[in-house]
Amino acid sequence: QEVGIKVVRWGATDSMGRPVSAGVYLYQIQAGEFVQTKKMVLLK
């Protein structure tokens, strides 16, 4: 891939397609050797 900004959208659903509750969630980005874990807050 080319260098640049990438966008990932999450529809606030779990792996079964069910809506998730408001709360704090962890997400992880992996690209080659790079791995980063962060928190996000989902408000409804």
pLDDT digits (tens, 9 = 90+) for 13-32: 999 999 999 999 999 999 89
2-28 burial, b for 16+ CB within 10 Å, e for fewer? eeeeeeeeeeeeeeeeeeeeeeeeeee
Percent of the chain with pLDDT over 70: 100
Say if residue 10's pLDDT is above 90: yes
pTM summary value: 0.74
* pLDDT for the residue 1: 75
Nearest Cα to Cα of residue 31 among 5, 10, 11, 12: 5
Count how many domains the chain has: 1
